[in-house]
Structure 1
Amino acid sequence: MKSHSSTLLAEVRTFRQNHPDVRYVDLIALDIPGRFYGKRYPVEMLEKVAAGSPLKLPQNAVLLGAQGGLFKIGDYCFHDGDPDANRRLVPGTLKPVSWEAQPLGQMLITSDGTEAPIEFEPREVLAKVLERLHRKGIHPVVAFELEFYLFDKKLNDGLPQFARDPLSDDPDDQPTLHIERLSRFAPVLDDMVQTAQAQGIDITVVTAELGPGQFEINFGHLDDGLRAADWAALFCRSTRGVALKHGYRASFMAKPYLQHPGSGMHVHVSLYDAAGNNLLAAHQQQPLRHAVAGCLALLPHCMPIFSPNHNAFRRLGGTVNAATKACWGYEDRDACVRIPESDPRNLRIEHRLASADANPYLVLAAILVGLEHGLDAAQEPIAPLNEDRTSGHDFPLEMLEAVRAMQQQPVLREGLGAEFVDVYCENKRQDHLAFQQEINAREYRWYL
């Protein structure tokens, strides 16, 4: 513990030396819907925390709904006195914030690794899954890919407008999948990449996607699943800030336009033993097939995680490369679980179903539980799409049905934690019901 505090203290002091103009640091963590909450600390107080002073925030801040309110979930929120819970600083995450008007820093905090971790904190859920896999001798290597849209900074009657192309006022004049669009939006995209790299994130490939103003960012592969999910979460925060600075609005919303492709979160996962051997490639790739079968078996029960809101289910309507069944295939982007072509050393799955606005900690945790279940059960999967284009299991396509499917699934309750599953499902149920508590103009047009 003393050595740990010494490392954190050195990190904070080095940061203060390198950024003497920074007076405050945002201490942030991801809540259940995937939004950051936290506190803005004077940097001198942060040094005291790094030296061992307690860091406490309300336990129930993790339970916030999509709009920030609290729902009654069991005895939490309104019957527990709203207690504080210990958090700790995540080493290596103290970085400058360059997109705000004043100089700031930010640093991740978490309850995992404390004396009493919060069972339903997303980072703690993933930490427990990774710890269990490590005890079994399974070491995941992970890489995220995130799609997002750029919009005009100003909304038009609450609706998003296409990002202003510097070379054209015609919203249809945006070359899809062309390198030219990367050049047209180079100033903001370059700033996004450089800002992410300043946060310690390894950005690899930038792609112009099919939608107007839609892009994809790929991250490097990591043998630390927590850090990989940290990267995905921090990238979303910095990208929104950089976009505003350039006069745009960046959004990871799953389906902002019905007529254009939605935005997904693709997760590449390979599994290694302690000696560095790829477990999926052994015995003529039999473990790979077992892992796929486990993913597909649990996928219909994980939909509240992969599609965490009403809009995310709109993305699953059969548009480009968005599956409508739990299916798999080799080099097939219509599959939920794709097996990219690779050598045995790099053999992996690419899980393509989650929306870009899903919680990266929970998405990865759910994928890993599926892989673990498949390796334990050792069942062969259904036919790949390469052999049968109709192959696949149905999964829920609306939230309340999805919550019912998730809450009673015994493998998920064991793998992710029963307390987490109950809390998460009730949070999603209440969020969905709250979203429905508004009559829109179309209902009056149709039924008045």
Structure 2
Amino acid sequence: MKSHASTLLAEVRTFRQNHPDVRYVDLIALDIPGHFYGKRYPIEMLEKVAAGSPLKLPQNAVLLGVQGGLFKIGDYCFNDGDPDANRRLVPGTLKPVSWESQPLGQMLITSDGTEAPIEFEPREVLAKVLERLQHKGIHPVVAFELEFYLFDKKLDNGLPQFARDPLSDDADDQPNLHIERLSRFSEVLDGMAQTAKDQGIDITVITAEIGPGQFEINFGHLDDGMRAADWAALFCRSTRGVALKHGYRASFMAKPYLQYPGSGMHVHVSLYDGAGNNLLAAHQQQPLRHAVAGCLELLPHCMPIFSPNHNAFRRLGGTVNAATRASWGFEDRDACVRIPESDPRNLRIEHRLASADANPYLVLAAILVGLEHGLEARREPIAPLNEDRSSGSDFPLEMLDAVRAMQHHAVLRDKLGAEFVEVYCENKRQDHLAFQQEIHAREYRWFL
């Protein structure tokens, strides 16, 4: 414990030496909807926390809805006295924030690893899954890919406007995959990539996607699943900040335009044993087939995680590479679970169903549970799309149906935690009902 505190203290002191103008540090964590919450600490107080002083925040901050409101979920929020819960600093995450007007730092905090972790905190849910796999001798290697749109900074009556081409000042309203778009928006994209690297994130490939103003950025593969999810979460925060600094609005909204492709969160996962052997490639890739079968079996019951809001369901069955059925295939981007071409050492799955605004900790936890379940059950998957284009099983396409499919599923309650499943499903149900409590102008046009 003393060694851990001394490491954190050294990190804070080194940061202060390298960034003497930083007076405050944002201590942040991801809530259930995937938003950061936390507190802004004076750098002197952060040093005390690193040395061992308590760090407490309200437990129920994790339960906030999309709009920041509290829902009554069991005894939480209104019958529990709104207690504090201990958090800890995440080593290695203290980094400078370059997109604010004043010098600032940020650092991740979490309840996992404390004496009383919050069972429904997303990072704690993933931590338990990773720990269980570790005990079974299974070591995931993970890489995220995130798609997002750039919009003009100003909204038009609340609606997004196409990003302005910095060379012509025209709207970038032509969907394409042209490399020139990367050049035209190079200043803001370079800023996003460099800022991400300053946060310790390994940025690799940048792609101009099909939608107007749509891009994808890939991250390096990591043998630390938690860190991979940290990267995805922190990238979303820094990207939005850098975009605003350059006069744009970056959004990971799943389906901002009905006529253009939505934005997804693609997750590559391979599994290794303690000797570094790829578990999926053993025995003529039979474990790969079992793992795929497990993912597809649990996928319909994980839809509230993969499509966490009303808009995310609009993305499914859309214009490009967004399935409406649980399917798999080799080198097939129409499949929910794609098997990219690779050598046996790098054999992996690419899970393509989650929306870009999903919670990366929970998405990865759900995918790993599917793989784990498949390896244990050892069932054969349905036919791949390469053999049968109609292959696939149905999954819910509406939030309340999705919640019902998840809430009482025995495998998910066992492997993700029954308390988490209850809290998460109720949070999604109430968020969805709250979203419906507004009459849209279209209703008046149709029915008045």
Name the TM tier (shorter chain).
over 0.9
Contact residue 151 and residue 163 of structure 1 kept, 8 A: yes
Once the two structures are superposed, what CA deviation does each residue of 1:331-361 show, in whole Å capped at 9, x if it has no partner? 0000000000000000000000000000000
Counterpart residue number, 2:30: 30
Aligned pairs, how many?
448
1:242-321 equivalence runs, <5 A = 242-321=242-321
Distance between the aligned counterparts of 2:143 and 2:244, measured in 1? 27
| Aligned-residue offset at 1:173 | 5.5
| Aligned-residue offset at 1:172 | 5.6
| Aligned-residue offset at 1:437 | 0.2
Contact residue 266 and residue 350 of structure 1 kept, 8 A: yes
Once the two structures are superposed, what CA deviation does each residue of 1:285-305 show, in whole Å capped at 9, x if it has no partner? 000000000000000000000
Contact residue 171 and residue 212 of structure 1 kept, 8 A: no
Once the two structures are superposed, what CA deviation does each residue of 1:228-276 show, in whole Å capped at 9, x if it has no partner? 0000000000000000000000000000000000000000000000000
Counterpart residue number, 1:332: 332
Contact residue 162 and residue 173 of structure 2 kept, 8 A: no
RMSD across aligned C-alpha pairs, in angstroms?
0.7
Distance between the aligned counterparts of 2:32 and 2:25, measured in 1? 23
Distance between the aligned counterparts of 1:297 and 1:168, measured in 2? 49
| Aligned-residue offset at 1:176 | 1.2
Q: Percent identity?
A: 91
Once the two structures are superposed, what CA deviation does each residue of 1:156-179 show, in whole Å capped at 9, x if it has no partner? 000000000113344366461111
Worse overlay, 163-172 or 148-157: 163-172
Distance between the aligned counterparts of 1:256 and 1:151, measured in 2? 10
Contact residue 165 and residue 174 of structure 1 kept, 8 A: no
Worse overlay, 318-327 or 283-292: 318-327
CA distance change for structure 1 residues 83 and 324 in 2, over 3 Å: closer, same or farther? same
Distance between the aligned counterparts of 2:174 and 2:22, measured in 1? 39
Once the two structures are superposed, what CA deviation does each residue of 1:189-228 show, in whole Å capped at 9, x if it has no partner? 0000000000000000000000000000000000000000
Counterpart residue number, 1:99: 99
| Aligned-residue offset at 1:369 | 0.2
Distance between the aligned counterparts of 2:117 and 2:339, measured in 1? 35
Contact residue 265 and residue 356 of structure 2 kept, 8 A: yes
Contact residue 270 and residue 278 of structure 1 kept, 8 A: yes
Distance between the aligned counterparts of 1:20 and 1:67, measured in 2? 36
Contact residue 174 and residue 181 of structure 1 kept, 8 A: no
State the TM-score, normalized to the length of structure 1. Answer: 0.99
| Aligned-residue offset at 1:394 | 0.3
Once the two structures are superposed, what CA deviation does each residue of 1:95-114 show, in whole Å capped at 9, x if it has no partner? 00000011000000000000
Contact residue 306 and residue 354 of structure 2 kept, 8 A: yes
Contact residue 265 and residue 353 of structure 1 kept, 8 A: yes
Distance between the aligned counterparts of 1:319 and 1:407, measured in 2? 30
Distance between the aligned counterparts of 2:34 and 2:428, measured in 1? 12
State the TM-score, normalized to the length of structure 2. Answer: 0.99
Distance between the aligned counterparts of 1:139 and 1:173, measured in 2? 43
Distance between the aligned counterparts of 2:318 and 2:296, measured in 1? 18
Once the two structures are superposed, what CA deviation does each residue of 1:106-137 show, in whole Å capped at 9, x if it has no partner? 00000000000000000000000000000000
Contact residue 175 and residue 181 of structure 1 kept, 8 A: no
Distance between the aligned counterparts of 2:170 and 2:389, measured in 1? 38
Counterpart residue number, 2:188: 188
Distance between the aligned counterparts of 2:299 and 2:224, measured in 1? 23
Contact residue 175 and residue 211 of structure 2 kept, 8 A: no
The runs of at least 4 aligned residues of structure 1 exceeding 2 Å deviation read: 167-175
Contact residue 148 and residue 356 of structure 1 kept, 8 A: yes
Distance between the aligned counterparts of 2:115 and 2:22, measured in 1? 31
Contact residue 146 and residue 218 of structure 2 kept, 8 A: yes
Distance between the aligned counterparts of 2:295 and 2:388, measured in 1? 19
Secondary structure, aligned partner of 1:283: helix
